[in-house]
Amino acid sequence: MEWIRGKEIGRGSFATIYTAKSTSPSSHLPPLVAVKASESGYSDSLKNEKQVIDQIGSCPQIIRCFGADHSVENGEKFYNLVLEYASGGTLADELKRNGGRLPEFDVQRHTKSVLRGLEFIHAKGFVHCDLKLQNVLVFADGAAKIADGAAKIADFGLAKKAGESDNTL
């Protein structure tokens, strides 16, 4: 995977999210992606996220993962998760842009997407464990509208198999 880090677009408890551009025309990556980066020593959550997304499989209402790699920047090792870029940001961002209100149609559309995504996740035997507005991504360019909605569930860092207890994070 060949990409160049762009600007910071988000920050979570375990990682920082950046835009990134693919540098290889023959790459399987779209021209613009999101890269979620964490120092290697603090990357357990990102590694769990990749493993869960890989096990869950493809669903139109779940953010796509294109792979992971390592990088060294200023002498620090990073674990990077390369994800689908959501041009509209998070659902929390959309709500803020709209003064704390959304049209009923958008609420219905986003709710339908989230419920379909959760149904898929649960059918695969997983629970998300951190569903909130900041972990639902929206697509301003309409790319996800083809998939019956413009929202996708993201951030599977705390997800686990249903019935498992995990105290490692």
Bind-site residues: 36
Question: d(Cα 49, Cα 94) in Å, to the nearest integer?
Answer: 24
pLDDT tens string for the chain (169 positions)?
689 999 999 998 889 999 999 888 777 889 999 999 999 999 999 999 999 999 999 999 999 999 999 999 899 999 999 999 999 999 999 999 999 999 999 999 999 999 999 999 999 999 999 999 999 999 875 444 444 557 999 999 999 999 877 555 4
What beta strand segments (E) does the chain contain?
3-11, 16-22, 32-39, 65-73, 76-84, 126-127, 136-138, 151-153, 160-161
Catalytic site residue from 54, 106, 130, 141: 130
Report the pLDDT value the prediction gives residue 169, as an integer from 0 to 100.
Answer: 46
Report the pLDDT value the prediction gives residue 141, as an integer from 0 to 100.
Answer: 59
Report the pLDDT value the prediction gives residue 163, as an integer from 0 to 100.
Answer: 84
Bind-site residues for ATP: 36
CATH number at residue 54: 3.30.200.20
Catalytic residue flag (residue 69): no
* Domain span at 153: 91-161
Same domain? For 80 and 122 the reply is: no
Q: Please tell me the total count of domains within the chain.
A: 2
